[in-house]
Amino acid sequence: MGNSRFLSALSATEYQQLTNKLWKMQSHKCFICEEEIDLELHDTNIDHIRPFVTGGKDEESNFALTHDRCNKAKQDADLEVAKRIARLDKIIKAATQKGESPSLKHVLIANGGSKYDFRFRVVGNELEYTFDKADDITKKDVKYSLMNYRVKKQHILTCRLSIFTMMMS
Ligand SMILES: [Zn+2]
């Protein structure tokens, strides 16, 4: 929110009202981790969905509410990328807890129930996948401890999944 004139211009009360409004619009869920936000317990943050620096509008329609910790953890990834990373994180955790090693299979199963049409192909040791109805994602390099994502235009998310075993058969 540091670069938002819109947010800086709000009074504390207006900021709280916007927080409440986004919280309701998002069904009380954090935009990044998609877990519940408890406004009493959690520090929250309002941020641009499409970053201001890449042409995102500084207005209400481009704002989302997140846990403060989720927003801090995303570093300079944009919110849509941060959400994808959070989803993959959960897939990895769930597989690991079941004693399985995380693989493409888990990614595909998890996305089978997604509202997005999930398509993928393997190019070398990279997995390219696309969510047809994903919002605009501009090119961005995101460093992450487990994997590198390269987000290109046309909603293609390329990830080099170093710990993922490709299970294509
Ligand atoms: Zn969160």
pLDDT in tens, 50-69: 888 888 899 999 999 999 99
Angstrom distance (rounded) from CA 81 to CA 85: 6
- Mark out the alpha helices in 76-135 (DSSP H runs): 79-97, 104-112
Give residue 168 CA to ligand 1 midpoint distance, Å: 32
Q: Which of 14-23, 72-81, 88-97, 99-108 has the lowest mean pLDDT?
A: 99-108
- Its pTM stands at 0.65
Q: 5-75: what CATH class?
A: alpha beta
Q: Distance, CA 124 to ligand 1 centroid (Å)?
A: 33
What is the residue type of 167? M
- Report the DSSP beta bridge partners of residue 78: none
Where in the chain are all domains bearing CATH 3.40.1800.10? 5-75
Query: Measuring CA to CA, which residue among 148, 70, 83, 146 is closest to residue 114?
Result: 83
Percent share of the chain, pLDDT over 70: 60
